[in-house]
Each structure stands twice: as C-alpha cells, then as structure tokens.
C-alpha cells in the first residue's frame, strides 16, 4: 500500500491545490484505489470504531484494487472548508405498514471527503446486500425531495 500512496500522491497534490489534472486510465485507477483505501482506513477512526468487512480487506489485499461494488466520484471543490470527512453506514430499511424496520446489518458505506479543492464521494456496497444503487425512476420514493439528502458538505 505504500507504493499506492507514493504513486497517487503527485496527482492528488495537484488536485488538492486546485490545478487542472488530466487523468488517463492509469491515473484514474490510482485515484480510485487511494479513495477506496481511505474509505476503509477512515472506518477505524469512527466513534465507535466501525471495522470494514473482512471480505473487503481481503479482496483489496489480493487484487490491489477495490471490489466491483465500490463506486467513486471526484470533482473540484471551491468551498470554505479545506478538510471534511463524513463516513456513514448504508442500511436498507423495509417499510411495513407505518412502521419502519431497519436491517441490523450494514449494507455498505458512504464516504464524503474534501481535501483542499478535491471533493470525492465513495459508495461501497456489500456483495449480496443492497445490490445496485436504485435510481429515482426505479424507486418513486427516492424521487420525492423529502427523501433526498445533499451529499456535499
């Protein structure tokens, strides 16, 4: 993993300082791996500690990349905060009548990270858990504004 840090750092530093960076497929892979690794590592800093699932750690170790159920987005950020991290569990709730019954097993993690001018979002879905993210069209409840939550800090 030290090689990943060394390889990704030149790209990340430019992005954090607000410079324009053109990411070829290799650069995209480096940044994606680095973000996925951050999503796992930051779990150990949560209160209480939220250890990542063992299958995620094993997959990352064996393949040196995140599993196919890890999605990342990056963009430029021009806000007041130069650092922001928010990590949350994704939990699917089933609605029965008027009561909501949350599942007791996290189905994934959601991380927002701002480092200088770099902003990133990582969604890591547990295999066999929540499945693919559903679009508002596939789930009318998601399309209603009261069920949306801004992902940016």
> What share of the chain in percent tops pLDDT 70?
72
Distances (CA, A) of 123 to 19, 22, 95: 25, 23, 23
What is the model's pTM?
0.72
pLDDT tens across 10-61, in order?
999 999 999 999 999 999 999 999 999 999 888 888 777 877 788 888 888 8
Tell me the C-alpha distance between 1 and 10, whole Å: 16
**Cross-sheet strand order for the sheet of 83-90:** 70-76, 118-125, 108-115, 83-90
Domain boundaries in the chain? 2-147
pLDDT of residue 96: 59
How many residues appear in the chain? 153
pLDDT tens across 78-97, in order?
989 999 999 888 776 666 55
């Amino acid at each position: 993993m030290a090689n990943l840090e060394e390889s990704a750092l030149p790209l990340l530093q430019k992005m954090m300082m607000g410079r324009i960076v053109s990411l070829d497929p290799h650069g995209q892979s480096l940044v994606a791996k680095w973000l996925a690794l951050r999503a796992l590592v930051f779990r150990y800093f949560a209160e209480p500690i939220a250890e990542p699932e063992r299958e995620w750690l094993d997959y990352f170790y064996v393949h040196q990349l995140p599993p196919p159920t890890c999605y990342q987005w990056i963009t430029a950020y021009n806000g007041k905060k130069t650092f922001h991290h928010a990590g949350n569990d994704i939990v699917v709730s089933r609605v029965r009548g008027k009561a909501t019954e949350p599942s007791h097993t996290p189905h994934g993690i959601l991380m927002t990270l701002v480092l200088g001018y770099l902003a990133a979002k990582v969604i890591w879905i547990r295999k066999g858990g929540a499945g693919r993210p559903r679009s508002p069209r596939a789930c009318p409840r998601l399309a209603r504004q009261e069920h949306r939550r801004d992902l940016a800090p």
